[in-house]
Amino acid sequence: MTQELRFRTPRFSERLRGMLGVDFYRLFHTPMFYIFLTIAAIIPAMVSAMTTMPDQNGNTMEPLYSNVWQIIAASEPLYVINTIADYANMNMVFIFGGIMVSIFIGHDYKSGYVKQLFTTHAKKQDYMMSKSIVCAFAMVCMCITYFIGGTVGGMLAGYSMEVNVVSLVLAVMGKMIMSLGWASLYTFLNIVFRRYFGISIASSFFFGTGILIIGVAAVVESLPLPTTFLNLFLYGSSVNACLTSDAGTLITCVLVSVVWAVFYNLLGTLILNKSDVY
Amino acid sequence: MNAVEIKNLSKSFGSKQAVRGLDMTVPMGAIYGFIGENGSGKSTTEKMICGLIPKSSGSIRLYGKDNTDANVRAKLGVLIESPGCFPELSVWDNMMLQAENLSLPDAKKQVISILKTVRMEGAASNKYKNCSLGMKQRVGIAMALLGNPYLLVLDEPLNGLDADGMRIMREVFTDIVKDGNRSIIVSSHLLGELQKVATHYGIIRHGRMIREMTAQELDASCRTYTALQAKDMSRAKLLLNSKYSRVEVDEAGYIRVYDPVPPEAVVTYLYENGVIVTEIMTEKIGLEEYYIDLMKGGN
């Protein structure tokens, strides 16, 4: 006896909701996520504390920061760094996030989950979107723990708390919004290097440190170009979200983050559609 | 309408051509035994059917639609190489995640039912990484069964299963196709086991389909042979070897004469040469021997 076969196209919202459900479940059930949240909190606290620690002779080094909030964001946009203090702010979250995304996506391929996924109705575009959203969420969480760690560490180190609250809030929001662009970049990189886990991590680290933009900035400074054009890039825009931020900074961050997210998602989808699933 | 219809399918990896102009037809309700040597192109073909790797040329139609159609893909159950399970999560969690990916409305009910079907209900809380090879295979099949698929593509699903596990799988396969619409493609090197369930066969070699047939056609084209035991086995073998073109000793110690001769003629010949036959029977060659014959170029 035969029964009628019914085929139904799953809606985009259904597909994405299912995939997001799985990815969020995995995120919250993996120790890696909590380890990275802890790292994000400890690093700024350690940097603050270490800079005020006395050496063997009881002398303390010159403090790296003059203000607690410089651990969160630079005083003004600094595309070329001179000291570790210029570098050590919330932008470090994007390096931790890059490594976390590599491990997260690496597990998808190693376990064969991707194969299982792509043989069903799941589309490559859904996969890119789901990973970007979940990893962006993880980075936003890291921004929060970084903020808590940095603030507590800075207070314990005795730094000044003076700040323009509006600019601080806008800077933190700008960096959180940039998480989407960064997460999309890392997802894309991990799709490109999906067969080589080590290269995926290395490339995420390389881009996360903003080495390229720092190099570009050095060239721009020597040319008659406005440095604001660096804000078009992920690292540049993340640097732009500083303690002098205004509404324009936030809008720049939103636009840059969304544009890069769309760009990397489309490119990643194209690559996935054209390549074999291992 | 057929469950799977493949025409002139080819796939190249660089200069290496893995599948060359393959044609394949899997009727609805069939358990299709897909057979071939290692590297013959079985897995590549299965991966192309499932859309895991894009084809170089040709067409793949599943239930009359292109294999990239999302409607059809939603009704595909697959186990290729390994089940896509997260090792740190339990069997239950892995099943539920897959159910969520498939957007199943009655996920919990379906997972419970399928775990019962594959006799894994008692191990649902085990972490996947702690499961034995056989258990992992059962989980893989359970994952493939989620969502009530119309077409199952299973690559070596019987590997690592014990005798009971194989029996259960045979029952599961037969149960799935009994409504006449659902179909299964199974590739396996365990030809004896495959023969117990397959209704159709496809034999692939060097990326080409060299034979497609039903179980009945296989049965009709399988030759009979005479198997015997004698008091003096070594002399009997010597004598039979000198008279007939193909004589072999099987694993059970029987001498097999494959030449098309009546058993009486064999007994008489041995008796006339002073060898007493203690047991004799005629049997048909199985899928395994048929396959070996085919690979050697005979039949």
Which pLDDT band, with edges at 50, 70 and 90, does B10 fall under?
Answer: very high
Q: Is the pLDDT of residue A151 over 50?
A: yes
Whether B74 and A117 lie within 8 Å, measured CB to CB = no
Q: Which residues of B touch A20 (CB under 8 A)?
A: none
Which pLDDT band, with edges at 50, 70 and 90, does A99 fall under?
Answer: very high
Query: Would residue B274 be called left, alpha or beta, if left means φ above 0 and alpha means ψ between -120 and 50 degrees?
Result: left
- Give the pLDDT of residue A93: 94
Whether B73 and A8 lie within 8 Å, measured CB to CB = no
Whether B100 and A117 lie within 8 Å, measured CB to CB = no
Long-range contacts of B99-103 (CB under 8 A, 24+ apart): B99/B146, B99/B147, B100/A18, B100/A21, B100/A22, B100/A25, B101/A18, B101/A19, B101/A22, B101/A116, B101/A117, B101/A120, B101/A122, B102/A18, B102/A120, B102/A121, B102/B74, B102/B146, B102/B147, B103/A10, B103/A14, B103/A15, B103/A17, B103/A18
Residue A1: which of B80, B143, B180 has the nearest Cβ?
B180
Percent of chain A with pLDDT over 90: 51
For an interface test with B, the pick among A1, A4, A6, A7 (most B C-beta atoms closer than 10 Å) comes out as A7
pLDDT tens per residue, range A240-263: 899 999 999 999 999 999 999 999
Average pLDDT, integer, range B47-68: 92
- Give the pLDDT of residue A218: 78
pLDDT tens per residue, range B145-198: 998 899 999 998 888 888 888 888 888 899 889 888 889 999 988 888 888 899
Q: Is the pLDDT of residue B218 over 90?
A: no
Percent of chain A with pLDDT over 70: 94
Whether B101 and A19 lie within 8 Å, measured CB to CB = yes
Residue A111: which of B72, B75, B85 has the nearest Cβ?
B85
Among A91, A85, A201, residue whose Cα is nearest residue A143: A91
Whether B100 and A21 lie within 8 Å, measured CB to CB = yes
- Give the pLDDT of residue A278: 67
Q: What is the mean pLDDT of chain B?
A: 90
Q: Does A271 touch chain B (CB under 8 A)?
A: no
Q: Is the pLDDT of residue A85 over 60?
A: yes
Whether B63 and A5 lie within 8 Å, measured CB to CB = yes
Among A88, A94, A84, residue whose Cα is nearest residue A142: A94
d(CA B115, CA B112): 5
Q: Does B14 touch chain A (CB under 8 A)?
A: no
Question: Which CATH number applies to B2-214: 3.20.20.60, 1.25.40.10, 2.60.40.10, 3.40.50.300?
Answer: 3.40.50.300
Residue of A nearest to B144 (CA): A116
Average pLDDT, integer, range B270-279: 93
pLDDT tens per residue, range B166-178: 888 888 899 889 8
Distance from CA of B100 to the nearest CA of A (A): 5
Are A102 and A185 in contact, with CB atoms under 8 Å apart? no
Q: Is the pLDDT of residue A159 over 70?
A: yes
Q: Is the pLDDT of residue A58 over 80?
A: no
Q: Which residues of A touch B103 (CB under 8 A)?
A: 10, 14-15, 17-18
- Give the pLDDT of residue A3: 59
Q: Is the pLDDT of residue B256 over 60?
A: yes
Are B185 and B25 in contact, with CB atoms under 8 Å apart? no
Domain boundaries, chain B: 2-214, 222-296
Q: Judge if pTM exceeds 0.90.
A: no
Q: What is the mean pLDDT of chain A?
A: 88
- Give the pLDDT of residue B11: 95
Question: Which CATH number applies to B222-296: 3.30.70, 3.30.160, 1.10.10, 3.30.410?
Answer: 3.30.70
Q: Does B54 touch chain A (CB under 8 A)?
A: yes
Whether B147 and A7 lie within 8 Å, measured CB to CB = no
pLDDT tens per residue, range A171-213: 999 999 999 999 999 999 999 998 888 999 999 888 888 877 7
Residue B19, CA distances (Å) to A67, B13, B208 in order: 66, 10, 6
Whether A17 and B103 lie within 8 Å, measured CB to CB = yes
- Give the pLDDT of residue B115: 93
| ipTM here | 0.80
Q: Is the pLDDT of residue A124 over 80?
A: yes
Whether A8 and B71 lie within 8 Å, measured CB to CB = yes
Average pLDDT, integer, range A24-45: 94
Which pLDDT band, with edges at 50, 70 and 90, does A2 fall under?
Answer: low
Helical ranges in chain A per DSSP H: 12-28, 31-51, 84-87, 93-111, 113-118, 124-156, 165-192, 197-208, 211-222, 234-240, 247-274
- Give the pLDDT of residue A60: 67
Looking at per-residue pLDDT, the higher value among B260 and B94 belongs to B94
Q: Is the pLDDT of residue B123 over 80?
A: yes
Task: Report the range of poorest mean pLDDT among A79-93, A194-208, B236-250.
Answer: A79-93
Q: Is the pLDDT of residue A61 over 70?
A: no
Which pLDDT band, with edges at 50, 70 and 90, does B70 fall under?
Answer: confident
- Give the pLDDT of residue B299: 45
